[in-house]
Amino acid sequence: MKSINQLFSQKEIKFLNLLSQKFPTAQSASTEIINLEAILHLPKGTEHFLTDIHGEYETFNHILRNASGVVRRKIDEVFGKSLHTKEKEQLATLIYYPREKLELLDMEEKINGEWYYLTLFRLVEIARNASQKYTRSKVRKAMPQDFAYIIDELINETNSRKVDYVDSILQSIIDIDRASHFIVAICGFIQRLLIDRLHIIGDIFDRGPDASKVMETIANHHSFDIQWGNHDIIWIGAACGIEASIAEVIRFSARYENLDTLEDAYGINLFPLLAFAITQYKNDPCDCFIPKSRKDSNERDTSVRITTMMHKAICVIGWKLEGQLIKRNPAFEMEHRLLLDKIDMQKGVLRLNGKEYELKDKNFPTIDPKDPYRLTKEEEEVIGRLRFNFLNSEKLQRHVGVLIAKGSMYLKYNSNLLFHGCIPMKGENEFETFNFDGKTESGKELCDKFDRAVRRCWVNRKNGKASQLDRDYCWYLWCGPSSPLFGKKKMATFERYLTAEKELHREEKNMYFSIRDNEKAIDFILKEFGLDPQKSHIVNGHVPVKVIKGEKPVKANGKLFVIDGGISKAYRKETGISGYTLIYNSTSLIVVEHQPFCSQNTAINEEKDIVSDRKTIVLSTEQISVGDTDIGVELRKQIEDLKNLLTAYRAGIVKEH
């Protein structure tokens, strides 16, 4: 706080005059200082970390609704043994899915006035308990508008002499036939209070069928951030009109038989690709391009056949586009992916490293051996029309806009470093370098430069001002050897599709994954990002934790959390579970291990929850307050500004309004 005799600079006086518009008197400034000082001493809000969702909407939605078990634990905390297990299960299911559960109970004729009263009373008790760690102002802002006054009265009325008052409110809600509406509203309110901040550590898209639903749910969350994954960046690139990224998005969608996400959810017209594929591959079995889920099945209906032909067509287009991109960027050091010119069309072999490897598919009518990376006129037309569709999909542009606005390469939040893949390393105390636009970069600065390149691509996606290099960097993040989002020396896509030799399929991981259990290496990374290794942690995903083989999600003596446990069905055989999540509340860091989710219908009808195992990893001896968090840092800045305003009022430098 400045002394009365100290003069403010003209710049500071200008700022204080602006601040005085919000706090026009010394009294209003004083009141806000008292309020903010009090907030600093409240317990920090609960943070919820999820990663590698990969379009698995039902599992993601349930984990979000049950807050990785926080809801059920809150019920146990409030009611203890006063409720039977079955009553707790019904109450938990009601909080997760209020509309659906009410409809089912009504059909089963299990709802009457007594049920409504007991249920309303129990929900109010949970809401009252959940709201205790927040200011009344924050709680009010979280309340559903239609019932804000009633909820405010119910959760803040603790005077035992006013029992009749509370009873009359509950009974009135029932009498005027608003109980169901009130239950839906207060259940949403409880969910909102129990999780203060949602962190999505990348890979929302690909593999699963409902990435658009996942994005819509995230976008509507009250407080969230996203750290881009490699599967997200390829969709960002596609939404920016980058042709190689568009081809890769379609390839992945065809490989996992998820073209509906593009066509139905995002309105991408794939007919140009379909027509081209039929023309080129009508009589080609395209066996190497059968969708992954159908490889071991004899089911080959018309839909599968169409997808298979489109899959092959877009793969060839994509390999050509990648080849062009790699050839114009020698600094990427990705010549290992230039394979089309290594094909001997007559012999049907791939010549590589002095050896010949027989190709499993030898029919490539659109590849010119003399100029293998050149698109045919028809391929150029197809990719051009697809680019137009991606750039003009309203829903896709809106969702990617959320990824840009709320997302980043990494995030520092409450002494935790969040990123999806890795920080490229050469050793435990040496970062891998990359030639970024002629300058050698590594560590945090490399992440920052990639981040800015992606944002420039997005801002200039339709005005033609995005540089070719920025667009190429955006694609590079998907599969480049020094990409923090990828973390491998190569992506052996071509080899896995077309050759049988396992030696060609190997994708060597970055050194980061070999040393991430080394505490010194993690300390080195944390220091690079300006964090204190004694109280900070890294949270990331990307590489599934092979629980089934005994691998653990907690590494480096509790300083690194890898929380990719297989929410995506494609990884569950590899992990043996159905995902990890992380909960960070005011007293502890808790890793939650989830077993496979049955289905939403089963959860509602049979009141089945995800079976989750909680492991407390870090237990604080003292409760962490808001003052200990990043929000606390911001609040202290606001308090300092308000104290300066108060000084200016008292010195007559700024006039009270």
- Tell me whether residue 280 is exposed, middle or buried, using C-beta atoms within 10 angstroms of its C-beta: 0 to 12, 13 to 18, 19 or more: buried
Residue at 602: amino acid letter: T
What is the C-alpha to C-alpha distance for residues 295 and 527, in angstroms, rounded to an integer?
Answer: 47
Task: Select from 545, 528, 580 the least CA-distant residue to 417.
Answer: 528
In the predicted structure, residue 297 carries a pLDDT above the cut 70: no
pLDDT of residue 560: 94
Q: Which residue has the higher pLDDT, 351 or 542?
A: 351
Cβ-contact 413, 199 below 8 angstroms: yes
Q: Which residue has the higher pLDDT, 596 or 200?
A: 200
* Model pLDDT for residues 368-381, shown as the tens digit of each residue: 999 999 999 999 99
pLDDT of residue 8: 86
Q: For 189, phi and psi rounded to 5 degrees?
A: -65, -45
Distances (CA, A) of 310 to 155, 285, 303, 316, 498: 58, 12, 11, 10, 16
pLDDT of residue 641: 95
Q: At which residue do the structure tokens 């929380």 appear?
A: 563
In the predicted structure, residue 1 carries a pLDDT above the cut 60: no
Quickly count: other Cβ atoms within 10 Å of residue 264's Cβ. 10
pLDDT of residue 117: 93
Q: Give the pLDDT band of residue 12 (cuts 50, 70, 90).
A: very high
pLDDT of residue 567: 84
Radius of gyration over every alpha carbon of the chain, rounded to an integer in angstroms = 28
In the predicted structure, residue 500 carries a pLDDT above the cut 90: yes
In the predicted structure, residue 5 carries a pLDDT above the cut 60: no
CA–centroid distance for 362 within its chain: 40
pLDDT of residue 137: 85
Average of per-residue pLDDT values in the chain = 92
* Model pLDDT for residues 471-495, shown as the tens digit of each residue: 999 999 999 999 999 999 999 999 9
**Partners of 43 in the beta sheet?**
625
What is the C-alpha to C-alpha distance for residues 230 and 209, in angstroms, rounded to an integer?
Answer: 18
- Tell me whether residue 477 is exposed, middle or buried, using C-beta atoms within 10 angstroms of its C-beta: 0 to 12, 13 to 18, 19 or more: buried
* Model pLDDT for residues 26-58, shown as the tens digit of each residue: 999 999 999 999 999 988 999 999 999 999 999
Mean pLDDT of 15-31: 94
* Residue partners of 580: CB distance under 8 A and separation at least 6: 545, 553, 562, 563, 564, 565, 591, 592, 593, 594
Q: Give the pLDDT band of residue 298 (cuts 50, 70, 90).
A: low
* Model pLDDT for residues 205-260, shown as the tens digit of each residue: 998 899 999 999 999 999 999 999 999 999 999 999 999 999 999 999 999 999 99
pLDDT of residue 3: 54
* Model pLDDT for residues 62-98, shown as the tens digit of each residue: 999 999 989 999 999 999 999 999 999 999 999 999 9
Longest dimension (CA), the chain: 93
Q: Give the pLDDT band of residue 165 (cuts 50, 70, 90).
A: confident
Q: Would you state the structure tokens that stand for residue 189, as one six-digit string?
A: 């309110």
Q: Give the pLDDT band of residue 158 (cuts 50, 70, 90).
A: low
pLDDT of residue 162: 67
In the predicted structure, residue 7 carries a pLDDT above the cut 80: no
pLDDT of residue 405: 97
Q: Which of 120-124, 505-509, 571-575, 623-627 has the lowest mean pLDDT?
A: 571-575
Output the 3-class SS for 377-408. HHHHHHHHHHHHHHHCCHHHHHHHHHHHHHEE
What is the C-alpha to C-alpha distance for residues 106 and 112, in angstroms, rounded to an integer?
Answer: 9
Task: Select from 115, 113, 120, 102 the least CA-distant residue to 169.
Answer: 120
In the predicted structure, residue 299 carries a pLDDT above the cut 70: no
DSSP 8-state assignment for residue 607: -
* Model pLDDT for residues 604-622, shown as the tens digit of each residue: 998 888 877 777 777 666 7
What is the C-alpha to C-alpha distance for residues 291 and 304, in angstroms, rounded to an integer?
Answer: 7
Q: Which of 6-15, 425-434, 497-506 has the lowest mean pLDDT?
A: 6-15
